[in-house]
Amino acid sequence: MGSEKTSVVKGKLSNLLSYDFFAVLPTTLVFVVLLIVPLITEFAYAFSTLTEPFSLGSIIFVLNDPLYLWSFIRTVIYIIIDISIKFLVGLIAAVALRQVKGYKILWGIFLLPYAMPLVPALYVWYCLYHPAWGLINYVARTTGLTSTIINFLGDPSIALYSLIWAHAWRFTPLWMTILLAGLHGIPEEYYESAKIDGATPTRTFFRITLPLIKRYLLLNATLSLIWTSGEFVSIWVLTKGGPANSTHVLGSYAYWYMMAGGNFHVAAAALVCAFPLLLVLMAIFFRILGWR
Amino acid sequence: MVEVRLENITHIYVTGRKTQTLAVKDINLTFPHASFCALLGPSGCGKTTLMRIIAGLNIQTSGHVYFDQREVTPLTPRERNVAMVFQFPVLYEMNVYENIAFPLRSVKVPESEVKRKVKEVAELVGVTHILNVHPSTLDMGSKQKVVLARALVREPNVFLFDEPLTNLDPLGRLEMRSKIKELQRNIKTTMIYVTHDQAEALTLADKIAVMDFGVVVQYDEPTKLYEHPKNEFVGFFLGNPGMNFIQGTLEDNAINFGEFKYDVSDVVEKLKEYGTEFKIGIRAEYVKVSKKPFKGAFKAKCIVSEHLGTSTLLDLKAGDKEFKAKLRITDVKEGDEVYVQFPKEKVHIFNKAGELII
Amino acid sequence: MEIRPEDLAKILAYVTVIIIGIIYLFPIFWAFLSAFKYEADIFNPAALIPTRLTLQNFFEPYFKPIFLQWIGNSFIVSAGATIIVILISVPAGHVLARARSKSYRLLSHILIFAYLFPSTFLIVGFTRLLGTLGLLNSYLGVILAYVAFNAPYVIYLVYSYMFAIPVELEEALLVDGYTKFDILKKLVFPLSFPVIVTGVLWTFMQSWNEVLYALVILNSPELMTAPIGMATLQPGESITPWGTLWAFSLVYSIPPLIVFYLLQQYYITGLMRGAIKAA
Amino acid sequence: MVNVRLERVSKVYNGKKVLNNVDLEIKDQSFTVLLGPPGAGKTTIFRIIAGVEHPDTGRIFFGDKDVTKLPPKERQVGFVFQSYALYPHMTAYDNIASPLKAAKMSKAEIDERVHSIAEKLGISQVLNKLPKEMSGGQRQRVAIARALVRDANIYMLDEPLTNVDYKIRESMRIELKKLLRERGGTIAYATPDPQEAMSLSDYTAVILNGVVEQYGSMEEVYNRPRNVKVGFYFSFPPMNQYPGELVKVGEKTFIDTGSMKVEVTHAMDVLEKVNEKEFILGIRPNQIKLATEPVENPLELELETIVTEIIGSESLVHLKLGDGKMVIHIPSIRRFEPGERLKIAFNQKEVFIFSKATGELVYAPEVG
């Protein structure tokens, strides 16, 4: 039908007693009171210190604190490696699963790590990583892979990466689902047409399948970058920022200043100074969303 | 180009463990070299399955598929060199030029050769002006043309169409029809066209295979199918409105329909072998109707009169027998008494089961 | 014997599936098995499949009553947040999808923005706000946090699902003689059931697993949610009763696993829908 | 039951004037067909009458009551949407009963009314089924039942047969015509198909891009189209139209379109009054015969076939005429291959003549 309809169902905000007003009121209240006000409060705290109401003291402190700088860098490392693991393992799993009979049931079972609660999932890796009675070290020793004990969470040089793996391990099944959903969404005719056009499986995958779901994957990848930048739980459960502060990220840095240090101003400043990173990632997200 | 021959093709879809559905039963068809044949039938009659078997997307449960004299069953779709146009345009995420060149690149054709062929085919189909455009911006008609070009570029043995015009608007459909017809004539290739729309089949195809429940009911030229349907299904399926079928019993040498009779003295011997119940079939446009009585006519009442500009469609009733007549210009209105006659040369006689006798 | 590419791909696929199965399923199996092991067997990695199992970790003195209270707290907080989120999100999602004027379209873009914004970055502002409202160390404080950070997603879910419901259906209701309030009851809630299930699953799971806000807002032991309580059994300082921790973890994992496997296909379709569609 | 009148109704959507100063009256107890191509504004008119859409300017009257501001609830109209708009989660019974429940009718009366309308439409056996469990035809009948089950000021059907497979469309149309006649009341029926307009309507309103080009009895509009646009559209298949110039040869006068000369002496008395030189000739495809058939004062042409289009049991042959084309209608299946030459003829007295300047009808042939 040519003409787009301007139905009365599409309400206007003008008539206050209308259904539309009452439907939108609660969420607007939630949005303003529970999201905008905290945002403003946070800026207020960031641009003040324990003593003066308006000062850049906290901001300057944070920007000069090497621990903050490293926390920022570690966050960036964290989100990039995290998405890479999730994407690659998820992709391999999705492509492999589609070839296997009864992949729907396996898909459900493989979602187990994502279905179980977050904290126990992290504790699993705490036990596996344990230098003394951890399974990984035990298997490595008995099969003679390495003679020395690998202290996954104790050795500052690898603690962060052990953290990232535990976190990525838990969320990979979600990414397997995202990829399967993407592959699933492509009509069968594309594969049949490719067969008729004589394309080999690999050429079909890279020249036809991936381009079709490229935008969809990039959207979800950016979303993962944004959400994981707020990561806190894996640090709090497994290393508490240790050893020797080598695994602090933005979230844990702010938490520890807020709770242990009792200094909300520095915590707020730490978070506010990370907003540029968030805004850049969100800008990327909206640009991809706007693509054809 | 190739002559496609199907030899007692049977195919059974096995879904889940037990459920088996018979899609196609013992089909024997030959699509002559460079002919344009249509597979016509209601949805679920097995026409698409047959096409997929020719393409090699499905391997038939039993029977043989020959391209000229070569058995192609073990070959993959690529090795059979078939081209297929689906219901919705299947275009890859690359510009029009790349889309058309894709099949050539899959078989490592030298780049200069690719360039020449794509240009030539784009010219033929009329998409030269949009070669470096991304397909998503094109309208449905142009998209199907690009798909057509991609199919043409490989000089396929056989062209398969799976209801390619369903998603086009009326104008685009008319244009695409003449384009396909034009292509078929000047590149002389075998084309097999699957559709449920009889008008499309009658418009395009040299020969039509009318299918129903997995079996080819009749395979012939359009006018032969229209004038001499093999059974009630074909008679009713083709033409709008479908052929009238009136049931009657044979009494000495005429078929009695209650209020009127139809003389069959010249063929009564032959009919006797088929028992006493018969159906006569006549197209609405061949029924003679007039307000004044005339020789050999019987009385009928007009219950509905529909004026359609080009003609008037009458619903006539004689006793409990109802049938339709289509006249050029008439002033017959609902409720009028009219005189009707079925011209002998336009009447077919079917047995009780609806199989054609005369 | 020349292996056709398709068969090679098949073998490779099966091998990959097995490896991934080991990496992703074995650790969970091993961990939850520890809930039935004696303390000694846990510390002996060789005893992969222990010879003796026990249920002691599920009873006094290992399994303390406060554990059940913690799980109860988690339940109150998660269920509370989920109900509020659904009640305010479905109508909002419906109206925004039908929006005509610019203001609504702007509002929908802001909602997507809120959905993207990680909650961690508002922890200071939010807790100071709760402080001034006197809602610290209370169920309501945590519930408000979970509503604020989950509502945008559920609104977005309903908003995008509404485009699958033609406007004509609502107009037909009006023509039949109903008012616009009836549309919500007779049409929007019944028809968006799949999306509501996804919203419930999402909000419940997020709230059930959340740590930072619960940690900061709740500090008295009786009010703690399960994940926070679990941390007080923190390994490291003292010798942790690992058996107890895994027993507690098992009980804490039951609700999400049940909910997940019961509504699995909603869960998966929800995830598919949730993973922002390219279309 | 009441007259429904639209006065100077206009509606703009996205900058496009969807309705342009529409004055239309749908007489009480009449069967009025709104004929026009998709997007011409037919649906918008129905939606404004039903109240699900407000006009930018103009007013709507039910009888002499101004209902422009009234919500749909208070207008009591029956509306069959083109997409049927059946509630997917309700059974056919509940769908049909919906307007009666909204009017708070007693359970018994609802039951009785729903079963009687279902009986008439032959859908009693699907009353407890959900829309997705029904065939297209059944869904359509449920939508019609929902509209007709109530006593409404006007029953509006928006292209009910468009998405029905054309093979069964004819029988559905006959059945619909019988049913709507029985129901009585004021009926408005929108369709893009000229044949439906011809077979169903008492009155026909031809609507082209938001303007009511002509309104009158069906015969009147078909035989005396007010202008070129109505002539072209209200004809199945569309009318062939050729601009041409008046030329005097001896005491005969012709209109020369460049590719053919048509004698119009018989229409001279009318043409002189208009004192214009340029005209547009209109010939309906079914007025053109193969040269083998008898035609009075014929104009014979031999043209080359472009393509033959077979529709149902009839054929449309597209022939090359100068740089344009001429479409002829043959009431049987005759396929002429592209390139084949064909001798055709038509009766020069049966030609429509429109003024080129205004497009208005100048001369219409007497009804043959």
pLDDT at C74: 95
- Report d(CA A41, CA A271) in Å as an integer: 12
Taking residues C195-210, report their average pLDDT: 91
Check if the beta carbon of residue D246 is closer than 8 Å to that of residue D280: no
Residue ranges of chain C that CATH labels 1.10.3720.10 = 62-274
Please provide the CATH number assigned to the domain covering C62-274. Answer: 1.10.3720.10
- Report d(CA C212, CA C222) in Å as an integer: 17
Please tell me whether residue B146 adopts helix, strand or coil conformation: helix
Tokens of B333: 């209105």
- Report d(CA D254, CA D263) in Å as an integer: 4
CA A210, A201, B137 angle in degrees (round to 5)?
A: 40
pLDDT at C267: 64
Neighbours, chain D (3 or more CB pairs < 8 A): A, B, C
D203 beta partners: D32, D217
Which position has the higher pLDDT, C55 or B95? B95
State the CB neighbour count (10 A cutoff) for residue D266: 15
Check if the beta carbon of residue C127 is closer than 8 Å to that of residue A36: no
What is the per-residue pLDDT across B219-261, written as a single tens digit (0 to 9) for each? 999 989 999 999 999 998 888 888 999 998 888 888 888 888 8
HEC string of chain C equals CCCCHHHHHHHHHHHHHHHHHHHHHHHHHHHHHHCCCCHHHHCCCCCCCCCCCCCHHHCCCCCCHHHHHHHHHHHHHHHHHHHHHHHHHHHHHHHHHCCCCHHHHHHHHHHHHHHHCCHHHHHHHHHHHHHHHCCCCCHHHHHHHHHHHHHHHHHHHHHHHHCCCCHHHHHHHHHHCCCHHHHHHHHHHHHCHHHHHHHHHHHHHHHHHCCHHHHHHCCCHHHCCHHHHHHHCCCCCCCCCHHHHHHHHHHHHHHHHHHHHHCHHHHHHHHHHHCCCCC
Please tell me whether residue D95 adopts helix, strand or coil conformation: helix
What is the per-residue pLDDT across B320-354, written as a single tens digit (0 to 9) for each? 899 999 988 778 888 889 999 999 889 999 988 88
The verdict on a CB contact (< 8 Å) between A8 and D52 is yes
Test mutation, D12, D14, D80, D81, chain C, max C CBs within 10 A = D81
Q: DSSP string covering B120-134, please?
A: HHHHHHT-GGGTTS-
Smallest CA–CA distance, residue D73 to chain B, in Å, is 37
Nearest neighbour of D313 by CB, restricted to B203, B240, B329? B240
The verdict on a CB contact (< 8 Å) between B309 and D285 is no
Taking residues B70-74, report their average pLDDT: 91
Check if the beta carbon of residue B148 is closer than 8 Å to that of residue B175: no
Smallest CA–CA distance, residue B334 to chain D, in Å, is 12
- Report d(CA B99, CA B149) in Å as an integer: 9
- In the predicted model, residues of chain A with pLDDT beneath 50 are 1-5, 13-14
The verdict on a CB contact (< 8 Å) between C172 and D81 is yes
What's the length of chain C?
A: 279
Test mutation, C168, C170, C176, chain D, max D CBs within 10 A = C176
Smallest CA–CA distance, residue C174 to chain D, in Å, is 6
- Report d(CA D178, CA A221) in Å as an integer: 61
Looking at this protein, which amino acid is placed at residue B274? Y
Nearest neighbour of A203 by CB, restricted to B90, B106, B136? B106
Phi, psi of D4 (to 5 degrees): -110, 125
Instruction: Find, in chain B, the residue whose alpha carbon is nearest to that of D311.
Output: B199
- Report d(CA D211, CA C35) in Å as an integer: 79
Taking residues B285-301, report their average pLDDT: 89
Nearest neighbour of B84 by CB, restricted to A187, A196, A292? A196
State the CB neighbour count (10 A cutoff) for residue B110: 9
Chain D neighbors of C98, CB-CB under 8 A: none
Chain A neighbors of D82, CB-CB under 8 A: 1
Nearest neighbour of D38 by CB, restricted to A2, A7, A9? A2
Q: Is-cis flag, bond preceding C61, omega within 30?
A: yes
Neighbours, chain C (3 or more CB pairs < 8 A): A, D
Biggest distance spanned by C-alpha atoms of chain C: 77
Test mutation, D87, D94, D101, D113, chain C, max C CBs within 10 A = D87
CA B243, B248, B253 angle in degrees (round to 5)?
A: 115
Q: Is-cis flag, bond preceding D237, omega within 30?
A: yes
Check if the beta carbon of residue B316 is closer than 8 Å to that of residue B338: yes
The verdict on a CB contact (< 8 Å) between B226 and D333 is yes
pLDDT at A13: 47
pLDDT at C278: 34
Tokens of D268: 């001279």
Tens of each residue's pLDDT in chain D, 368 residues:
689 999 999 999 888 889 999 999 999 988 999 999 888 999 999 999 999 999 999 999 999 999 998 989 899 999 999 999 999 999 999 999 999 999 999 999 999 999 999 998 889 999 999 999 998 888 989 999 999 999 899 999 999 888 777 777 877 888 888 888 888 889 999 999 898 898 888 899 999 989 999 999 998 999 999 999 999 999 888 899 999 999 988 888 999 998 999 999 888 888 888 888 899 999 999 899 998 888 888 899 999 998 888 887 889 999 999 888 899 998 888 888 888 999 999 999 999 999 999 999 999 988 64
Chain D neighbors of C186, CB-CB under 8 A: 87
The verdict on a CB contact (< 8 Å) between A23 and C99 is no
Taking residues C121-129, report their average pLDDT: 95
The verdict on a CB contact (< 8 Å) between B310 and D313 is no
Nearest partner of D24 among D206, D175, D202, judged by Cα: D206
Which position has the higher pLDDT, C201 or C260? C201
HEC string of chain A equals CCCCCCCCCCCCCCCCCCHHHHHHHHHHHHHHHHHHHHHHHHHHHHCCCCCCCCCCHHHHHHHHCHHHHHHHHHHHHHHHHHHHHHHHHHHHHHHHHHHCCCHHHHHHHHCHHHHCCHHHHHHHHHHHHCCCCCHHHHHHHHCCCCCCCCCCCCCHHHHHHHHHHHHHHHHHHHHHHHHHHHHHCCCHHHHHHHHHCCCCHHHHHHHHHHHHHHHHHHHHHHHHHHHHCCCCHHHHHHHCCCCCCCCCCHHHHHHHHHHCCCCHHHHHHHHHCCHHHHHHHHHHHHHHHCCC
pLDDT at C272: 59
Chain B neighbors of D222, CB-CB under 8 A: 309
Smallest CA–CA distance, residue A77 to chain C, in Å, is 17
pLDDT at D49: 95
- Report d(CA C193, CA C170) in Å as an integer: 17
Smallest CA–CA distance, residue C179 to chain D, in Å, is 7
Neighbours, chain B (3 or more CB pairs < 8 A): A, D
pLDDT at C69: 92
- Report d(CA B325, CA B312) in Å as an integer: 8
The verdict on a CB contact (< 8 Å) between C264 and A237 is no
Nearest neighbour of D87 by CB, restricted to C169, C174, C179? C169
Instruction: Find, in chain A, the residue whose alpha carbon is nearest to that of C269.
Output: A181
Taking residues B8-18, report their average pLDDT: 84
pLDDT at A4: 40
Nearest neighbour of B178 by CB, restricted to D199, D306, D331? D306
Cα dihedral sign for D182, D185, D186, D191?
negative
Smallest CA–CA distance, residue C186 to chain D, in Å, is 9
Does residue B139 come out as left (phi exceeding 0), alpha (psi in the -120 to 50 range) or beta? beta
- Report d(CA A17, CA A13) in Å as an integer: 9
A interface with B, Cβ–Cβ below 8 Å: 187, 189-190, 192-193, 195-200, 203, 207-208, 211-212, 214, 292
Nearest neighbour of A232 by CB, restricted to C95, C179, C211? C211
Smallest CA–CA distance, residue A51 to chain C, in Å, is 17
- Rg for chain C, CA atoms, rounded: 24
Check if the beta carbon of residue B41 is closer than 8 Å to that of residue B20: no
Tokens of A6: 């301007």
Nearest partner of D212 among D49, D3, D6, D1, judged by Cα: D6
